[in-house]
Amino acid sequence: MPRMMQNLVKEWKKFPDEAAAGLKDALNKKHIKATEFSLRECFGECFGYDLLNGTLGEFQRTEMRQVREAAGAVSSDAFLNISQQFAFAAVLDAYDLPELVVKKLIPSRTSKFRNERVPGISHIGDNLGGVVGEGKDFPEFGVSEDYIDTPETVKRGGIIPVTKEAIFFDQTGQLNDRLGKAGEWLGVNDEKRAIDCVIDAGETSGNQYRYRWLGNAIQTYGDSSGTHSWDNLAASNALSTYANVETAWKLLVAITDPFTGEPQMVTAKHIMVPPALAFTVPFALKGMVKKVAPGYATSGNPVSTEVDNPVGDIVGNLQTVTSQLIRARTGDDTTWFMGDISAAFEEIVNWPLQVLQLGAGSQDEFKRDIVMQFRADKRSTFNTKQPRKMVKCTA
């Protein structure tokens, strides 16, 4: 990396816009890895290695303001901007961990508001097919008010301070480790909240996501009762064979539009299970199914029929979703979920994950030798927009 950093700083000083675009593109395409970044090398190339090659005591006694003024504004800008590009890439790479599976299924949309009232109107239903007699007036059909309120977005994040010691000793990527951990835990927190939204783990003051329909905050899963005017909870339906998938599917397709009573349009796409059920899923979704009629007769030459598992043809190709975090959030090894996660839930984002930087010259430098700070944060919330597209099954 030393030679690359040397060339990068030279190009940045000459052509900052082109160098910035090129570095961003190289980091996005993984031609350069954020983990290769050395804060020490970047500092040395921008401000000179004489100070770095001295003693730590000398380095600690030196004010960053003096270093920046001596090197000039161009060097200071290069150091701040190059380090920020690498910092953002390090946080983002760790944030997008491949094992965070549930969040990736939930679509995001941008909003300018803390919370919203999403208005709609009810469907008319199948009322237009009635017979109208000759010379008679056509009937009029009205619609009803329909709306949901979204929960308030919440800001989450933290600050990663960089001390003089971090610059002086950054031989093995200390800063990258810290930035990576910040991104990783922001991603884990997002995944936990995404799972909590899907399973309806119970709202807290800092994590609200429930379906707020016509002024009522309604639990995602339950039997039809009161404001919960649909049945998407199948008790005593432990996952073992295709018959359990059939039970969940029948419950899902039986849910109707609350205004018209017509069947809802829904396609089951996902089956979400704890790891303990991961090896059970193939037995429920694949293989052969044998059926004997009548019942369990052992004599009389009962008819035996063997067919391919009907789940794929009838329900569809279900994507299996599982992770250790699902088990941790549900608290048991038997509860499972089926439906369309992408259609039932959403993430509302005021601003996505961002990494901001504060340079030297603050009170923290004077008091604690903190010469640079990075802040990673985002403001968002998960929201249940259509719980009628999911079914929960318990043992």
Per-residue pLDDT tens digits for 220-262: 999 999 999 999 999 999 999 999 999 999 999 999 888 778 8
Amino acid in the structure at residue 91? V
Question: What φ, ψ does residue 123 adopt, rounded to 5°?
Answer: -75, 150
> Do 352 and 346 meet the contact criterion of CB atoms below 8 Å apart?
no
Point out which residues pair with 272 in neighbouring strands.
Answer: 321, 337
Give per-residue pLDDT as tens, 85-132.
888 899 998 898 878 899 999 999 999 999 998 776 445 455 555 677
pLDDT of residue 201: 96
CA-based R_g, the chain, Å:
29
Give per-residue pLDDT as tens, 353-376.
999 888 766 677 667 778 788 899
Q: How far apart are CA 289 and CA 278, in angstroms?
A: 19
Nearest of 387, 383, 378, 359 to residue 43 by alpha carbon:
359
Give per-residue pLDDT as tens, 264-285.
888 899 999 999 999 999 999 9
Amino acid in the structure at residue 38? S
Give per-residue pLDDT as tens, 284-339.
998 878 776 666 666 667 777 788 898 999 999 999 999 999 999 999 999 999 99
Q: Token match 């052509």: residue? A: 15
Nearest of 216, 161, 198 to residue 374 by alpha carbon:
161
- pTM (predicted TM-score): 0.82
- Please give the helix or strand (H or E) that residue 356 lies within, else none: strand 345-358
- Average pLDDT taken over every residue of the chain: 86
Give the contacts of 223 (CB within 8 A, at least 6 positions apart).
231, 233
- Please give the helix or strand (H or E) that residue 24 lies within, else none: helix 16-28
Sign of CA dihedral 31, 36, 39, 41: negative
User: Residue 136 above 80 pLDDT?
Assistant: no
Q: How far apart are CA 276 and CA 138, in angstroms?
A: 59
pLDDT of residue 142: 54
> Do 262 and 126 meet the contact criterion of CB atoms below 8 Å apart?
yes
pLDDT of residue 122: 46
Tokens representing residue 140 in the block: 């009029």
pLDDT of residue 69: 72
Between the CA of residue 82 and those of 4, 38, 53, 194, what are the distances in Å? Answer: 12, 11, 22, 33
User: Residue 40 above 90 pLDDT?
Assistant: no
At 311 the three-state DSSP class reads: helix
pLDDT of residue 294: 64
User: Residue 156 above 70 pLDDT?
Assistant: yes
* Strand 390-393 relative to strand 336-339, pairing: antiparallel
User: Residue 172 above 60 pLDDT?
Assistant: no
pLDDT > 70 in the chain, percent: 90
At 270 the three-state DSSP class reads: strand
Amino acid in the structure at residue 232? N
